[in-house]
Structure 1
Amino acid sequence: MSLISLGYIGVNSRRTDEWASFATNLLGMQQVDRGGAGRLFRMDDRKQRLVVTGEGDEGLAFMGWETASSAHLDAFASMLENAGVGVKEHGPALADERHVGRLISFHDPDGNRLEAFCDPEIAETPFLAGRPISGFKTGTLGMGHAVLHVENVQGILHFYRDLLGFRVTDYGLTPYPLYFFHLNGRHHSFAMVGSGRKGLHHFMVELLSLDDVGQGYDIAQTTDGRIAYTLGRHANDHMLSFYATTPSDFFVEYGWGATVIDPETWRPFETSEGPSTWGHERLYLPETSPVRTRMREMRFKNAENGFRAPDPGPNCAWLDRVVGRE
């Protein structure tokens, strides 16, 4: 496989001041560029993870997928061209702007711009969070995950699974099609929801502490309409999270505690519990929305059936600290 993780995400938005406040004061990212129309944000030792362009219609601008080396990038580009996908190799100007060694771009069947790159630049200074947080879970797992609205799942499934090499983690077919894909140990780096629409549904960032998420939840509640999904736990990756409405037309999932899988032994399977074990009430939808009602019914059914996430085993904070020191 040539792609190894989600490296960065670009957002088209002219609401750069709103994004700067959202990304730093709520998410805890570090703003690193104040020049020009756009904004760049760090999450770790990489020079940038989130790009807000300062232009275009509100929504997804691009997703940047990392390859292991320049040779892997060349092989990936050749594979795309042989499959009839139009590929553009960009020069140093855009590579410098993305803070990578090299990159190519292409589009999926729904017209979403995808970039593949190698040799990301490492910052010379430590990450400085926008608010006090324990940090983001990144490293070999990548930035997090991205979830797209798609008009027709079957029409685009082949492209991501069979051509790009995304491996199915699990999938659900009711009340609408949902497919989750992994590239590494993160349960999913990419997912698609068959909503009949196009565009970005959300991207996710995972925190290193549950308290980071809880404090973010408190902060989000101080802004009317900021909470899109209430605090809840997903049924498949067991992440505890909430969803915040961004200054643009999509959400950010802010979570902790997702399952890490072994990609070499994992086998895909169909789920029937719905997206969430509990919580994740969709506040952005009207109370009478059929989708909101159906999601609530599925959660209540999980409660009736006693559905639970796997037991992680004994959890003693004092013992964890002692073991960590040892």
Structure 2
Amino acid sequence: MSITSLGYIGINSTRQAEWEGFATGLLGMQKVDQGGGMGLYRMDDRKQRLIVTGEGDEDLAFMGWEVDTPADLDALAARLENAGVRVTLHGAGLSDQRHVARLISFHDPDGNRLEAFCGPEIASDPFLSGRPISGFKTGSLGMGHVVLHVARVEGLLHFYRDLLGFRVTDYGLTPYPLYFFHVNGRHHSFAMVGSGRKGVHHFMVELLSLDDVGQGYDIAQQRDEGIAYSLGRHSNDHMMSFYSNAPSNFFVEYGWGAQIVDPASWEPFETTEGPSTWGHERLHLPEDNPVRLKMREMRHKTARDGFRAPDPQPNCAWLDAVVRAE
């Protein structure tokens, strides 16, 4: 019944034209022609990875989590229902819309909608990026990751760790609680920030080349308020990235070079560095904002201490092709 990857995400937004320009012209996704008010975007051979609903309040609409088989989906549904979580089994209408064979939905304790599915549809035509990029790191690692604001981390730990089976990769407690969870070799497919708020903080897509990220950074700088966090490197997953202001009220992280973990042997631990080894200046906050100042001081301490993350694992074109084919 294990969840194996983040398959897709949905965003509630009526800003379809802005999302199309952002998703294709900056991120490099492919717009999929679709009737109705939704915007659909590809990142690889899947028929869709990002769904912009055309309605709602400019926030996360749902997260789609993949399992391997119908039996795994049934087992997950039974486990949730036995724990008192209401589960809805959807028919062909929504399954066809999501381009999957079977689909259930439920909500976490903060009210975030989750969907779990099996049997994703594979497109017959090749992926065509919206701008020249090397491609996205997906395959068995999934679409990327999602980070949520949560009212209380303690209230959601049981749900994601014990009910859904997400495994803690690492966590930090300063300046606020941060928990990172893996469901495959990606360092984290999900994380939560104990900010006392609710909603999406950001989602991340990972590229196959650092130049893709650098060129995206140049493109983002040409947009009004296009850069939310400056280029930097995280201390826990070691990803080099920047954050852009999305058309809705959250961020998108655009990165390269994150470490791959071994789920079978990984032991969770508390991190005290960072959260960035360098960079990631919070440009969206006022210069004298306490959070911006605290984050700056934390990475300056990391610099004084001489913390070094390991070099990224080299890109291997053959291995990347195998992962994408899985």
With normalisation by structure 2, the TM-score equals: 0.96
- 1:281/1:296 contact within 8 Å kept: yes
Q: Percent identity?
A: 75
User: What is residue 205 of structure 1 aligned with on the other side?
Assistant: 205
Mapped to 2, the partners of 1:128 and 1:226 lie a distance apart of 24
Cα drift, residue 33 of structure 1: 2.3
Q: 1:173 to 1:128 in 2, by over 3 A?
A: same
Letter in 2 for 1:132: P
Show CA shifts across 1:99-132 (max 9, x none). 0001000000000000000000000000000000
| 1:94 matched residue in structure 2 | 94
Separation in 2 of the partners of 1:120 and 1:310? 35
Q: Give the partner amino acid of 1:65.
A: W
Q: Which runs of structure 2 are paired with 1:27-42 in the superposition (5 Å)?
A: 27-42=27-42
Query: What letter corresponds to residue 111 of structure 1 in structure 2?
Result: G
- Correspondence 1:60-209 to 2 at 5 A: 60-209=60-209
* CA contact 2:169–2:188 (8 Å) conserved in 1: yes
1:294-326: per-residue Cα shift (whole Å, max 9, x none)?
00000100010000102459x8x9xx89x99xx
Q: Does 1:245 align with 2:245?
A: yes
Looking at structure 2, the residues matched to 41 and 11 of structure 1 have their Cα atoms a distance apart, in angstroms, of 12
Provide the secondary structure at the position in 1 that maps to 2:162. helix
1:70 counterpart letter in structure 2: P
SS of the equivalent of 2:111 reads coil
Query: Distance in 2 between the 1:101 and 1:275 partners?
Result: 39
Q: Which residue in 2 is equivalent to 1:57?
A: 57
Q: Distance in 1 between matches of 2:155 and 2:65?
A: 21
**1:289 is matched with which residue?**
289
The CA deviation string for residues 213-247 of structure 1, in whole angstroms up to 9 with x for no partner, is 00000000001211000000000000000000001
SS at match of 2:60: strand
Q: Deviations over 1:158-215 (max 9, x none)?
A: 1101111100000000110000000000000000000000000000000000000000
Aligned residue pairs, count? 320
Indicate if the aligned counterparts of 1:174 and 1:274 stay in contact, CA closer than 8 A: no
Query: How big is each residue's C-alpha offset from its partner over 1:247-275, in whole Å with a ceiling of 9 and x where there is no partner?
Result: 10111000000000111000000000131
What SS does the corresponding residue of 2:191 show, helix, strand or coil?
Answer: strand
CA contact (8 A) 1:62 1:113 kept: yes
How many Å separate the matches in 2 of 1:107 and 1:304? 43
Q: Aligned partners of 2:183, 2:155: CA distance in 1, in Å?
A: 21
The alignment partner of 2:201 has SS state of strand
Cα distance in 1 between the residues matched to 2:207 and 2:126 = 17
Q: Kindly provide the amino acid, as one letter, of the partner of residue 32 in structure 1.
A: V
Extract unaligned runs of 5+ from structure 1: none
| Code of the aligned partner of 2:6 | L
The one-letter code of the counterpart of 1:145 is H
Deviating 4+ runs (over 4 angstroms):
none
- Indicate the SS of the match to 2:230: strand
The structure-2 alpha-carbon separation of the partners of 1:269 and 1:81, relative to structure 1 and needing over 3 Å to count, comes to same
Residue 238 of structure 2 contacts residue 312 of structure 2 at CA under 8 Å; is this kept in 1? no
Residue 200 of structure 1 aligns to a residue whose secondary structure is strand
Match of 2:225?
Answer: 225
CA deviation after TM superposition for structure 1 residue 2, in Å: 1.7
Calculate the aligned-residue CA RMSD, in Å: 1.7
TM-score, normalised by the number of residues in structure 1: 0.96
Q: After TM superposition, give the deviation of residue 34 of structure 1 in Å.
A: 4.0
1:293-312 pair list within 5 angstroms: 293-311=293-311
Q: Given that residues 172 and 274 in structure 1 are in contact (C-alpha distance below 8 angstroms), is that contact kept between their aligned partners in structure 2? A: no
Instruction: Say if 2:13 is the partner of 1:13.
Output: yes
Shift of 1:145: 0.3
Of stretches 27-36 and 262-271 in structure 1, the one that deviates more from structure 2 is: 27-36
C-alpha distance in 1, partners of 2:241/2:85? Answer: 36
1:227 aligns to what SS in structure 2? coil
Quote the residue 1:265 is aligned against: 265
In the alignment, the residues of structure 2 paired with residue 86 and residue 254 of structure 1 have an alpha-carbon distance, to the nearest angstrom, of 35
Q: Residues of 1 paired with 2:224 and 2:302: CA distance?
A: 30
CA distance in 1, matches of 2:32, 2:248: 20
User: For residues 36 and 286 of structure 1, what CA distance do their matches in structure 2 show?
Assistant: 40
- Counterpart-to-counterpart distance in 1, 2:274 and 2:108: 27
Q: What is the CA distance between 1:35 and its match in structure 2? A: 2.0
